Amino acid sequence: MKIYVASSWRNTIQPKIVALLRDQDYEVYDFKNPKPGNTGFHWSEIDPNWKQWTPDQFKMNLKHEIALNSFYSDMRALEDCNVCVLVLPCGRSAHLEAGWAIGAGKPTIIFLQDNIEPELMYLMAMFICTDTQDLLSKLAELKNDIRRCRVCGCTDDNACLGGCYWVEEDLCSKCVSVSERDDD
């Protein structure tokens, strides 16, 4: 199961959550280390004085090649994930990522611990977890809920060669004709 961990650069729990999930054999996207040798995106890569930007400079630099490459890397991982885990505390980007995941129909879990300000809209998330055991338990539930084709056994994580899509909850596009023959 592919998990997108949305959080903050300043969150000290985030690396521990990433390591915990990887130890459980989940495929985890870590924005701090998206690929081997890639230490994630920093505005300072574009301009060391990024904190002094005007709104127009910020708008212009959103289109910078470095920013766009990092954005697309994160978005591909978000689109590809089965579950999004929002690790609090975090800021605007992580909340936008979790909101996008919820809007895309992806199960989203909010992981929170001490000193969190209550937020009504967290009700949009499928689960709110307050400790790692609860988080692992909810992820195990979701892992068991991953769709599997009744004919070939493909899943969201392991599609048919050449790709497929779901025609029914338990039937992929590659197996429709096989299923129709079986029904005759």
- pLDDT value of residue 155: 80
The rounded distance, in Å, linking the Cα atoms of 143 and 61 is: 39
- pLDDT value of residue 146: 74
- pLDDT value of residue 183: 59
- pLDDT value of residue 122: 96
Please tell me the pTM assigned to this model. 0.80
- pLDDT value of residue 184: 53
Task: Write out the two tokens for 81.
Answer: 């994930």
- Greatest C-alpha distance within the chain: 69
Task: Write out the two tokens for 59.
Answer: 């708008």
Domains of the chain: 2-146 (3.40.50.450), 148-184 (no CATH)
The rounded distance, in Å, linking the Cα atoms of 131 and 135 is: 6
Ranges of the chain whose pLDDT falls below 50: none
- pLDDT value of residue 156: 76
- pLDDT value of residue 149: 82
